[in-house]
Amino acid sequence: MGKVYFVGAGPGDPDLLTLGAVRTLALADVVLHDALVSREVLALIPSHARIVNVGKRCGRKGIAQDEINTMLLQVASKGDVVVRLKSGDPLIFGRAGEELDFLQAAGVEIEIVPGVTAALAAAAKLQVSLTNRRCADQLLVISAHRKDGKTESDWHRLVTSRTTVVVYMPGDYGLVAEDLRRAGLSSSTPCAIISKVSSPEERSYRTTLGWLDRAPLLPAPCILIVGEIVATAASSESDFLDSSSPLFQSNFVQPAESSPEL
């Protein structure tokens, strides 16, 4: 029986890979990777390894989770070193739990190599601390994408004015804004949307909760950060901020006239 390594590929920039991830990729006989793993990271896989894209993207037909589980077991059963390469960190919204349960039940040896999750990469780009003893002593990480048939979450009960909320796969910004306002957050609460963080196509947009439903739908994958800490974000020429937004008037400098079109 071979061994399966769950490796975090980070948000895209190969500079954000851990040394452990690079070393593990060098050992691989087979690599099963997500659709969001960047070309730059895939280029680090040794030429002798077999590479299989098992990615699933929202709205597109792809390989079923049960098929991925079976494939992992099949290649491990041949004695191969298998890398399950997941974008970001393997244990955050990456369905690793289902794969781990399946492989553990089959007696497969497993090792997990953590990665930089998109929330941390986005906070680094904005130059904000997700927790700050002056205004944010709680961090809530959620996904706005729900499995078919799943009942509505009650996460909004956990939110306070001192909570930083990070939303993966925010989808419909208006629905997310409704949930956050129902949780008691003010319409003036700062928000930041970061698209394709750490990639050459990275984009960001800052506004307030009251104006979030008017924000442009930036390309996936996206991260939405909501909370008072966003008001401390460093300005960047890559940021787009609506000049009519209260956030623009109160906290941020106007972007350059050459701001990219949305």
| Block residue for tokens 């997941």 | 86
Q: How far is CA 95 from CA 29, 149, 173, 242, in A?
A: 22, 17, 23, 36
Query: Measured between alpha carbons, how far is 9 from 80 in angstroms, rounded to an integer?
Result: 20
Distance of CA 219 to the CA centre of its chain: 13
Please count the other Cβ atoms lying within 10 Å of the Cβ belonging to residue 48.
7
Q: Considering the candidates 34, 80, 89, 239, report the single residue annotated as catalytic.
A: 34
Residue type, position 215, single letter = A
In DSSP notation, 167-184 reads EES---HHHHHHHHHHTT
Q: Considering the candidates 3, 13, 29, 56, report the single residue annotated as catalytic.
A: 56
Q: Specify the DSSP element, H or E, that contains 99.
A: helix 96-105
For 247, what's the count of Cα atoms within 13 Å in the CB-facing half-sphere? 30
DSSP state of 160: -
Encoded tokens for 41: 């990271």
In terms of Cα–Cα distance, which of 6, 196, 197, 25 is closest to 95? 6
Q: In the annotation, is 137 catalytic?
A: no
Q: In the annotation, is 3 catalytic?
A: no
Q: What is the largest CA-CA distance in the chain?
A: 62
Encoded tokens for 157: 């009960």
Query: Measured between alpha carbons, how far is 50 from 173 in angstroms, rounded to an integer?
Result: 39
- Helix/strand/coil for 185: coil
Q: Considering the candidates 3, 29, 169, 213, report the single residue annotated as catalytic.
A: 169
Q: In the annotation, is 89 catalytic?
A: no
Q: Which of the residues are catalytic? A: 34, 56, 169
